[in-house]
Structure 1
Amino acid sequence: MKHIRTQILPSKQRFAKIKAPNELNLKAIAIYVATGFFLDSDTFYKDEVCLLPAHDHTLDEEGYLIESKPWFEWYYEPRQLSFDDAVNEYVTLLKTITKEQFGDSKVILPLSGGLDSRSQALIFKELNNDVQAYSYSFKGGFPEHKISEKVAKACGFKFQKFEIPKGYLWDDIEELAQINGCYSEFTHPRQMAILEDLKAMEGEMSLGHWGDVLFDRGVPEGTQESDIIPLLYKKMVKKDGLALAKSLWETWGLDGEFESYLSQRLEQLLSNIKIDNVSAKVRAFKTSQWAHRWTSTNLSIFEEAHNIHLPYYDNRMCEFICTIPEAYLADRRMQLAHLKTNDALSEITWQDQKPFSIKNYRYNKMPYNLPYRVIDKLKREFNGIIGNPYIQRNFELQFLGDANDQKLRSYLFSKPYLEFIPESIVQSFYDKFKNEDVVRYSHSVSMLLTLSLWHKLFYKTN
């Protein structure tokens, strides 16, 4: 017998066999196509499952799952404490976890223009670790690295910047597929472009993933219980992904309607979370599903370079969140309060509120932000006229242009793959991407590309 205890929020997916037909799980794949991640324990095959988070799993000697029992269930029991006390507890916990993870070791710290990595930076500044920080920006996109560099300088860290080049994906796409098992579409992991540079750094990596979800409201203010399914549906399901999933559902001759099946799955998973507070309930759902099956997938790329540590993934952080009043978590209040204790960091631009900082972001509204918005729009239009279009999304680097298109087509229209996904469906969504709306149909094309790599590298016959 083998016993495995999974964390509340696992940093990697672990799989096991079950007694079931060795067949493709087509319904699960349809959901994957629509959303970009698998739900619950679903995988590509019916006889394989992903081990659920916060469970004790028992496997037999052959690796078959015998039993799974939860050792933790999400709850919401807010304590009676002041906001200042809550912030102090949060900072102390974050510092304790970070100190346990690193001790006096060298640290590799990815920095962004947001709050999670900046919060980590402030902790490492106080711990006096030797930190190598880095950041990257899209070629022709917003220079996020300039914000990160200011954060690193304010903390006294070494800093390295990278530019993500056009078409980097094609040289590394099969390596990426092997690393993440094709459990995530390929237009997101920018870190793949600098994997060799990361390997050359010294230390272990500290990643700030999921802090932005734990320390924010789970749903918009005023959301009711009856609003949850429509809200999740809107957040999770891509419009072109839905259209692709429905096409595949009909082609594969699956029973019922895809949308009804997906809604039923969401309702069932939500019913397992015994929390009355709507915001806390949705946060728990996102963490147990979204984080585990999507966010954690590409952590494996960082792990190819170095050992990784995630303070917001720590069990204690998840349990801490369950005891904090929603009003304190809403709108990133606790993280903002922590960062405001350092004048230098709080004066640096907050990317989500650019050009405003943590100190004055509340002015990011009309008429205060009008000059920036006008100037920014004029810059983008001018750059487009002179042949330097503004890059906002990773797919623009990967799929646009003749060279990218040639590589894309070589995977989408490979003959073995077209035995799995009919050529008529591939051609239809490819044409819509090329001729109708590249933004709207980028997800479906990326999913078709991901399935093509999965079929080439992992597909198995009975």
Structure 2
Amino acid sequence: MKKITTPIIPVQAYLVKNDNAKGIDYKAICLFAATGFFWEKDDYWKNQNVLAPASFHQLNDTGKLTSSEPYFNWHYQPDHNRKFNDVLEKFTHLFETIIAEQIGNQQAILPISGGLDSRSQAVALKHLGKEVTSYSYSFSGGYSESGIAKRIAKACNFKFQEFFIPKGYLWDVIEDLAEINGCYSEFTHPRQMAVLPEFNKMKGVFSLGHWGDVLFDKGASENYTEEDLVPLVVKKVVKKGGLEFANALWNSWGLEGDFQDYLESRIQELLNQIDIDHIGAKMRAFKSQFWAPRWTSVNLSIFEKAHPISVPYYDNRMCEFICKVPEKYLADRRLQIAYIQKRNPAVAKITWEDQRPFNLNNYQYNKIPYNLPFKVSRKLKAGVNKIQQKKYIQRNWELQFLGKDNEKQLQTYLFENDLKNFIPEKVTKNFYKKFQEKDSVNYSHPVSMLLTLSVWNKKFNHEG
């Protein structure tokens, strides 16, 4: 017998056998096509399932699951009499304890963005006296995302590297990426693949800030009711063009019923598993239980290919802590902001990317008339760029799909890779044509999913 304990938010998916079903799970793939991630226990294959998070599992000698017992359920039991400063003190101690334990005596490798999750980690690592190598990405030909990160690193006295993600890098690494993430995520998002050789030159443990923005913000507006949750989840998880693409696959494969009905029924089924009355807390729990393990965690394996990883916001103790914090202290990133202001006032004064040009001390002024000069300046700059026909790269897929060389590579995977044996060629041609001629932004996701499914079909589909 083999025993497996899955974390509350797993870093990886634990696949087990299901001998009661065989063949490709087309319904699961339709959900994947619409949202970019597999749902709950779903897999490409009916005879493989993923172990539930936060549970004790027993497997027999053949790898088949024999029993599961949850040891944690997401809940919302806050003490509304607790003062904010008491909660802040508790968070400070817990956060820094987790990071100290995860890094130990090793050097930390810290990706820094202009947001709050990695900034909070930077502050903690600085306070703990850890040696840190930090870095940030920018798109070649795009907005420099590293400017704010560089200032944070300097304020903390960290070593810093700026990486530029080159155009068309995907085609040199796509086969390796498929092996690393198993085609459980579309390929245009994990830009860390472009700098994996640089990661290999570093030393230490990655300290990754994934999921902090979900745990430390309001789960949903106070105006939502229980009846609003299914439409809200649909709005949150379905990508642009995703519903249309999934419908096309569903119909081309002759699946019974209607895809949107299936999508909404699956969402309702998962929401019913969460025994929380508070709408915001329930939405946060839904994301953490069903979204984080199958979406956010998938590409952590790329970092792990170079060095061990640590994810402080994934720690079981952090999840348990969140369940006891009043929503008003989590909303609007209040705890993280107060932590940074308290521990490192210099870092708090650095621009917050989402609130440019304001920082953590004055972001409340990001409204008219206070932000008018910045808005005017940005519009003028955009106008100049348009006149000069200068186009900034803003999205991952633009680096991979636009331009003659990229188009040639993409077309090879879509039309010369036996994808038609899995997905009818008329579906592929239809969505690629819409991407090229109608709306590249709206149809970039379907094309990216077609690319992912093409590689999976070539490498892993033993029925093809």
TM-score bucket of the superposed structures, by smaller chain: over 0.9
**What is the 5 A alignment of 1:326-337?**
326-337=327-338
Task: Decide whether the 8 Å contact of 1:380 with 1:389 is kept in 2.
Answer: no
Partner deviation per Cα, 1:367-388 (whole Å, 9 max, x = no partner): 2222212222222332344343
**What is the 5 A alignment of 1:50-449?**
50-79=50-79, 80-341=81-342, 342-449=344-451
Task: State yes or no: 1:24 paired with 2:8.
Answer: no
Following the alignment from structure 1 to structure 2, what is the Cα–Cα distance between the partners of residues 378 and 398?
29
Partner deviation per Cα, 1:374-419 (whole Å, 9 max, x = no partner): 2222223323443431111101111111111111101011252111
Aligned positions, number: 462
Partner deviation per Cα, 1:210-244 (whole Å, 9 max, x = no partner): 01100000012321111111111111112411111
Aligned to 2:418, the other structure's residue is in SS state helix
Partner deviation per Cα, 1:339-388 (whole Å, 9 max, x = no partner): 11222101111001111111111111122222212222222332344343
Task: Decide whether the 8 Å contact of 2:417 with 2:454 is kept in 1.
Answer: no
Aligned to 2:350, the other structure's residue is in SS state coil
Aligned to 1:403, the other structure's residue is in SS state helix
Q: How many Å apart are 1:68 and its aligned residue?
A: 1.9
Task: Decide whether the 8 Å contact of 2:15 with 2:48 is kept in 1.
Answer: yes
Give the alignment's Cα RMSD to 1 decimal: 1.1
Following the alignment from structure 1 to structure 2, what is the Cα–Cα distance between the partners of residues 291 and 103?
26
Q: What amino acid is aligned across from residue 124 of structure 2 in structure 1?
A: I
Aligned to 1:334, the other structure's residue is in SS state helix
Task: Decide whether the 8 Å contact of 1:215 with 1:335 is kept in 2.
Answer: yes
Q: What amino acid is aligned across from residue 331 of structure 1 in structure 2?
A: D
Aligned to 1:441, the other structure's residue is in SS state helix
Q: What amino acid is aligned across from residue 451 of structure 2 in structure 1?
A: L
Q: What amino acid is aligned across from residue 112 of structure 2 in structure 1?
A: L
Following the alignment from structure 2 to structure 1, what is the Cα–Cα distance between the partners of residues 230 and 389?
43
Q: What amino acid is aligned across from residue 34 of structure 1 in structure 2?
A: A
Aligned to 1:340, the other structure's residue is in SS state helix
Taking structure 2 as the reference length, what is the TM-score of the superposition? Answer: 0.98
Q: Say which is worse superposed, 352-361 or 378-387, in terms of deviation.
A: 378-387
Aligned to 1:284, the other structure's residue is in SS state helix
Taking structure 1 as the reference length, what is the TM-score of the superposition? Answer: 0.98
Q: How many Å apart are 1:140 and its aligned residue?
A: 2.2
Following the alignment from structure 1 to structure 2, what is the Cα–Cα distance between the partners of residues 101 and 34?
35
Task: State yes or no: 1:5 paired with 2:5.
Answer: yes
Q: How many Å apart are 1:113 and its aligned residue?
A: 0.5
Task: Decide whether the 8 Å contact of 2:218 with 2:280 is kept in 1.
Answer: yes
Structure 2 unaligned blocks of 5 or more: none
Q: How many Å apart are 1:67 and its aligned residue?
A: 1.9
Aligned to 1:4, the other structure's residue is in SS state strand
Ranges of 4+ aligned residues in structure 1 off by more than 4 Å: none
Q: How many Å apart are 1:278 and its aligned residue?
A: 0.7
Following the alignment from structure 1 to structure 2, what is the Cα–Cα distance between the partners of residues 116 and 142?
21
Following the alignment from structure 1 to structure 2, what is the Cα–Cα distance between the partners of residues 311 and 235?
24
Partner deviation per Cα, 1:240-283 (whole Å, 9 max, x = no partner): 11111111111111111000011110001000000111111110
Task: Decide whether the 8 Å contact of 2:222 with 2:279 is kept in 1.
Answer: no
Task: Decide whether the 8 Å contact of 2:417 with 2:458 is kept in 1.
Answer: no
Task: State yes or no: 1:15 paired with 2:15.
Answer: yes
Q: What amino acid is aligned across from residue 165 of structure 1 in structure 2?
A: P
Following the alignment from structure 1 to structure 2, what is the Cα–Cα distance between the partners of residues 31 and 455?
17
Aligned to 2:361, the other structure's residue is in SS state coil
Following the alignment from structure 2 to structure 1, what is the Cα–Cα distance between the partners of residues 382 and 169?
23
Q: What amino acid is aligned across from residue 456 of structure 1 in structure 2?
A: K
Q: Say which is worse superposed, 119-128 or 139-148, in terms of deviation.
A: 139-148
Following the alignment from structure 1 to structure 2, what is the Cα–Cα distance between the partners of residues 292 and 103?
25
Aligned to 1:38, the other structure's residue is in SS state coil
Structure 1 unaligned blocks of 5 or more: none
Task: Decide whether the 8 Å contact of 1:21 with 1:46 is kept in 2.
Answer: yes
